[in-house]
Structure 1
Amino acid sequence: MKTERKDIPFLLAITPLVVMVIAMATTIVKFEGSPHIPLILGTVVAAFIAWQVGFRWNEIEKGIYEGIRLALPAIVIIIMVGLTIGAWIGGGIVATMIYYGLKIISPSLFLVSMTVICAIVALAIGSSWSTMGTIGVAGMGIGISMGIPAPVVAGAIISGAYFGDKMSPLSDTTNLAAGIAGADLFDHIKHMFYTTIPALVVALIVYTVMGRQYGKNSLNSENIDSVMKSLQDNFVISPWLLVIPLIVIVLVARKVPALPALTVGIILGWLCHIFVQGGSIGEAVNTLNDGFSIESGNELVDSLFNRGGIDAMMYTVSLTIVAMTFGGVLEHTGMLKAIVKKILTLAKTARSLVVTTIVSAFFTNVAAAEQYISVVLPGRMYSEAYREKNLHPKNLSRAVEDGGTVTSVFVPWNTCAVFIFATLSVHPFEYAPYAVLNYMGPIIAIIMALVGFKITYMTDEERAANDEKRKDQSLNV
């Protein structure tokens, strides 16, 4: 018979994380292996500790299933993006986007252009993943064809996509952060201007400077011509094919949910594969599952277009499930709560509380491997501390976004980084230095917090309204 369950002390709570990180570093750096096994090892250690302090196996198992359940929406999106990439490559849509991109976009301005385009699209549709899985894939093809290194291109795409996602009222993480903290959605977005706009400006300056070295004089125009000829030889290129991604963007901008909108894009791309590109029904169906396959004679084109389909996303899906079993055990057994509580003892002032929240959100990305948990857990744990210091809830909602939403891309086993690796084919360690917005945002937020800039306090009326809201929420639980 197990002893009565008790709170897990900090040293025990952090043990699974330490074991996982050491195993992860050894596996990835020394053996160049997959992060799956270190995450499973961390889960085993966490489960054993929870069992020792009094948790029954069915409770631990429930935590595992809850973690996986939380990841199910992300898994569905991953599969849908795999289908979209396969359908759009097979239908010639990606080839058309790359072809006209190579004709229109100046190499020296490509990084800035790509960042702005991704920012606008993500702002309109509220999804960084959908933006990277569609516009981003084409952008990788354009940039690489121009001779720009893949990690640099990926960094610009990620910066733009996450800016738009973070600032969009349609974004799930933006709504989640505001809701968890108890802030008005548009107050939350306005408050993020102070950290996110400067981060975007810095990113655009960096990309402008970097873009100079990729000017026309330094590029091999024969390489670009070869790519464009290969595209023309193997695909029907038509500006009408650009209508399909435009339809998807318009649908989501008109608040059609992401899954139905992507489904429309997949169906249209599949039909283009048959009726525009001349593929058979069997080829088009197989492309959706197995991905597109081409032997063009151009090595660069082959590397860009041999991808997509459900199969290509199974590594990502499996890693997402494994990561969420680890995060689920830590969350459900209170280990994350114990770690966050320990961190909270360092926050003595309003300024240090904001900094602590930002750091905690990033730490949660490392520990729980899921962007949503990095928003929910600190938002929930620090809510009372912000109230005690009379800080407006929008300070908390901005802090969890600055520390959680944008930093998820830097943790190789986090679901966001795994998705990017599967979609853009660039490892987080490679694109990290070039995802400028994603690390400048937290840095600027921390500096602003330390100097006390734009830390907003509640008025008496706002405090009373906040207390009433909290009371109503507690009655509804």
Structure 2
Amino acid sequence: MKNERKKGSLYALLPLAVFLLLFVGSGIITGDFYKMPVLVAFIISTAVALLSNRKESMNKKMDVFCKGAGNSDIISMCIIFLLAGAFGTVTKTIGGVDSIVNLSLSILPANLVVVGLFLIGCFISLSMGTSVGTIAAIAPIGIGVAEATGIPVALVLGAVVGGAMFGDNLSMISDTTIAAVRTQGCELKDKFKVNFSIVLPAAIITVILIAVKTSSYNVELNEVYTYELIKIVPYLVVLIGALLGINVFVLLSGGTIFASLVGIYTGSFDLFGAIESINVGMSGMFELSMISITIGGLVELIKLNGGIDFILYFISGRIKSKKGAEIGIAALASIVDLCTANNTIAIVMAGPLAKNISDEFKIDPRRSASILDIFSACWQGIIPYGAQLLTAAGLVAISPVEIIPYLYYPGLMGIFGILAILFGVPKLKSSNTSENIA
């Protein structure tokens, strides 16, 4: 099979090189890796792809681009992004995040408060599907704890970032999870089960490390924390519904409506306030949706020009086993995330190629989706120029590099991801759920 594969064209990968040059180059020059808008960089790269193939007419190339951009998986993914944005904004607006944080702080023993911040981060990010939003919500509390107890603020923020990355990697409404399952063709609940079994040991060890590291500090919580249990219920409904296998479109739509009714019932907003929150949430996903659509078209152009064939020929010539192919997918996700500093975009970019590799070497889509998500999240939670560390460090005016030694969970997540590949765990039964999640 390997000998029959087309060699493809290295030149066809020029658009990706242009993207990296624009995005990474501008970051190095300006010191701000978000100075160059990602969508603009991809549009320019698409123009390069359109102009670099002189064998095909422009009409043919535009048809190919539109076919890729309008792929059913891409459009479905964009709709899920919009619904997830609506749900996340509505639940946050009604005070769901504050209730989760305050409930957790109310029941936690004072001497385990930093461990508690990690666990709170795990639950909030699992519920909200956003690591940056979780960090923004919890980090100010962590900073206050550090000031009151003398625990190094970098250690506390490391725990917060770790918890945020736990849910970012696993949440049913996380951009990364949605992108991983859509590009690999598996069920949300199946990917969650495989992914969870790999990273659970990392979370347990993180709890132990944080507890040991903070055991010598005297911690007291004198504040009374108020919360409303009803505002936490929408998160539980979506989480349980996803695990039960409810259609994701139905689940997110129903969850948004339910959260809106809770908000109206509790007086958080009226009907039009709920509609406004839904609109704000969806609007926040417009750029990501357009990026996904553009990448879908760009990948199809690269495929037309022989770029995908070249990568597969190059990789297949060096991969001798399924395990090697999984390492290749992990490396692919890692490299793209290190270059883009955005784990969602890394998965959207690497996903189609990872799917081709997994099909070639008969890798279960649940594993390929988990590997993509784990390794992109691992590096995203460590790189000092990523939004996660920049957000955490910016709240207390320290260098993101100071937090890195305390990023126990992201590092352990990567380690256990490697161990899962090397030892072939978890062992998966053959599955017929290779259909799309819709």
- The TM-score with structure 2 as length reference comes to 0.67
Change (3 A) 1:136 1:15: closer
2:313 to 341, 344, 347: 341
The answer to whether the Cα contact below 8 Å between 1:87 and 1:287 also exists between their aligned partners in 2 is yes
1:311 aligns with 2:277: no
Q: Comparing both chains, which one has the higher relative contact order based on Cα–Cα distances under 8 Å and sequence gaps of 6 or more? A: 2
1:274 to 264, 267, 270: 264
The answer to whether the Cα contact below 8 Å between 1:196 and 1:441 also exists between their aligned partners in 2 is yes
1:27 aligned residue: 26
Q: After the TM superposition, which residues 310-329 of structure 1 pair with which residues of structure 2 at under 5 Å, given as runs?
A: 310-329=282-301
Q: After the TM superposition, which residues 1-16 of structure 1 pair with which residues of structure 2 at under 5 Å, given as runs?
A: 9-16=8-15
Change (3 A) 1:102 1:447: closer
Give the Cα separation in 2 of the matches to 1:107 and 1:44.
Answer: 52
Unaligned runs of 5+ in 2: 1-5, 144-152, 394-398, 433-438
2:142 aligned residue: 146
Secondary structure at the aligned position of 1:255 is classed as coil
1:380 to 356, 367, 377: 356
The answer to whether the Cα contact below 8 Å between 1:107 and 1:214 also exists between their aligned partners in 2 is no
Give the Cα separation in 2 of the matches to 1:150 and 1:58.
Answer: 51
Per-residue CA deviation, residues 281-335 of structure 1 (Å, 9 max, x unaligned), is 4334333324xxxxxxxxxxxxxxxxxx333333333333344443343245431
1:132 aligned residue: 129
Structure 1 range deviating more: 350-359 or 336-345: 350-359
Change (3 A) 1:421 1:164: same
The answer to whether the Cα contact below 8 Å between 2:330 and 2:372 also exists between their aligned partners in 1 is yes
Secondary structure at the aligned position of 2:245 is classed as coil
Structure 1 range deviating more: 341-350 or 135-144: 135-144
Q: After the TM superposition, which residues 72-87 of structure 1 pair with which residues of structure 2 at under 5 Å, given as runs?
A: 72-87=75-90
Structure 1 range deviating more: 24-33 or 56-65: 56-65
Q: After the TM superposition, which residues 310-459 of structure 1 pair with which residues of structure 2 at under 5 Å, given as runs?
A: 310-348=282-320, 352-362=324-334, 369=345, 371=347, 374-381=350-357, 383-384=359-360, 386=361, 393-394=362-363, 400-401=368-369, 403-409=371-377, 440-444=412-416, 446=418, 453-454=423-424
The answer to whether the Cα contact below 8 Å between 1:91 and 1:271 also exists between their aligned partners in 2 is no
The answer to whether the Cα contact below 8 Å between 2:118 and 2:160 also exists between their aligned partners in 1 is no
2:65 to 63, 66, 72: 63
Give the Cα separation in 1 of the matches to 2:295 and 2:248.
Answer: 24
The answer to whether the Cα contact below 8 Å between 2:114 and 2:159 also exists between their aligned partners in 1 is no
TM-fit CA distance, 1:445:
5.1
Counting aligned pairs with the same residue, the percent is 14
TM-fit CA distance, 1:98:
2.8
Give the Cα separation in 2 of the matches to 1:136 and 1:191.
Answer: 21
Secondary structure at the aligned position of 1:216 is classed as coil
2:16 aligned residue: 17
1:473 aligned residue: none
Give the Cα separation in 2 of the matches to 1:206 and 1:82.
Answer: 34
Give the Cα separation in 1 of the matches to 2:213 and 2:290.
Answer: 36
Give the Cα separation in 1 of the matches to 2:277 and 2:408.
Answer: 35
Change (3 A) 1:241 1:310: same
TM-fit CA distance, 1:216:
2.8
1:113 aligns with 2:144: no
The answer to whether the Cα contact below 8 Å between 1:60 and 1:333 also exists between their aligned partners in 2 is no
| Superposition RMSD in Å | 4.9
1:37 aligns with 2:36: no
Give the Cα separation in 2 of the matches to 1:21 and 1:45.
Answer: 13
Give the Cα separation in 2 of the matches to 1:192 and 1:440.
Answer: 13
Task: State the one-letter code of the partner of 1:246.
Answer: L
What is the count of residue pairs matched by the alignment?
387
The answer to whether the Cα contact below 8 Å between 1:80 and 1:262 also exists between their aligned partners in 2 is yes
TM-fit CA distance, 1:25:
1.0
1:249 aligned residue: 239
The answer to whether the Cα contact below 8 Å between 1:60 and 1:332 also exists between their aligned partners in 2 is no
Give the Cα separation in 1 of the matches to 2:273 and 2:85.
Answer: 16
TM-fit CA distance, 1:114:
3.5
The answer to whether the Cα contact below 8 Å between 2:135 and 2:391 also exists between their aligned partners in 1 is no
TM-fit CA distance, 1:12:
0.3
TM-fit CA distance, 1:406:
2.1
The answer to whether the Cα contact below 8 Å between 1:177 and 1:375 also exists between their aligned partners in 2 is yes
1:95 to 91, 95, 98: 98
TM-fit CA distance, 1:248:
2.9
2:147 aligned residue: none
The answer to whether the Cα contact below 8 Å between 2:241 and 2:251 also exists between their aligned partners in 1 is yes
- The TM-score with structure 1 as length reference comes to 0.62
> Who wins on radius of gyration, i.e. which is larger?
1
Give the Cα separation in 1 of the matches to 2:217 and 2:295.
Answer: 38
Structure 1 range deviating more: 247-256 or 372-381: 372-381
Secondary structure at the aligned position of 1:52 is classed as coil
Change (3 A) 1:15 1:52: same
2:146 aligned residue: none
